[in-house]
Each structure stands twice: as structure tokens, then as C-alpha cells.
Amino acid sequence: MGLAMGVIDVVTAVYPGSFDPVTNGHVDIAERASKVFGRVVVAVLNNPAKDALFTVDERTEMLATALGHLPNVEIAHFSGLLVDFARQHGAQVIVRGLRALSDFEYEFQMASVNRKIGGGIETVFMMTANEYAFLSSSMVKEVARFGGCVRGFVPDHVARRLAEKFRPAR
């Protein structure tokens, strides 16, 4: 693997998630991954079993706006097995963000399964920045649902979209 300006330029990483909605913590992980890997595919999970607030297209659009300043980051969506998506995109690495110890057990299990079925695809864990360690999409939606301010938790355009979703019908 060649190194160019500290970036592993021949490695493609996939950063998956539901991103419902994208938070500043997600943006932080994507920005940091883009500095380490030559290509990062941010992959929006389309899971029909989950009741998402935003459609896959809306989430993809919000991510594209939030991460548009990163030239080596692409936004895509998938359903099915993550390792299949990763292989289709030539990825060697899955990037996962960890907020707290409580995340680790679940992420460790997923990484182990993905390694077993993924044919050599590795998982790299990145600790979220301290200011976002408490932040989750679920928490943001709950605050927004009850009219609370989510500025500082999500990019500004996402805060506006949340306000629109939860605006009382007239």
C-alpha cells in the first residue's frame, strides 16, 4: 500500500449507518476517515424493518450536503448484507464509530460476523470526538420531536429538515 500525504490511497473504506438523521458525530467520523483512506463510501442502510423518519433519498441528500466538502467521499445506499455492498464497491475496510463502551459489544459482534463472512474485509473503529460522545440520531429526533433546539447536534440544513418534519399540522 502506498502512502500519499498520510492517506492510505489505495484503500477504499465503507462507513455504513442509518443516518436518520446525519449528526455532527457522523460528520466527524466521515471527515476523519477521509483523511485516512483514499476513498470512503458513506453507505445509507435501507432497512424496511426499521421505521425511519427520513426516506433513503432524503438521508442520502442530507449526507451529500453535509459531506460535499470531502472530495474522496461518495454517498450510496444499500439493503442486504454490508459485506456484499462493501465487495461491490471494492472496499477493504468497514469504518465504525464508537461513542461509548456500550457501543463496543454490539460493534465487536458485528465486526466478527463481517470478518467471518466478508472474506478479509476488516473493521476499523474510530472513537467519536468527545463533544459528540453522547450524540445519537435517536436522541436528536426525540429533542426535535418535542420542539427542542438541535443546533450543534446536526448540520444546519438537517436541523431545518427536522423542524419541517415535526412542525405541527395546521
- Catalytic residue annotation: 26, 50, 99, 137
- What does the angle CA 84 – CA 88 – CA 92 come to, to the nearest 5 degrees? 80
Provide the grid cell at 29: 467520523
User: 95-123 in b/e burial notation, b at 16+ Cβ within 10 A?
Assistant: bbbbbeeebeeebeeebeebeeebeebeb
Tell me the C-alpha distance between 104 and 158, whole Å: 27
Closest CA to 75 of 115, 107, 46: 46
55 φ, ψ (degrees, to nearest 5): -70, 165
CB-side neighbour CA atoms (13 Å) of 37: 26
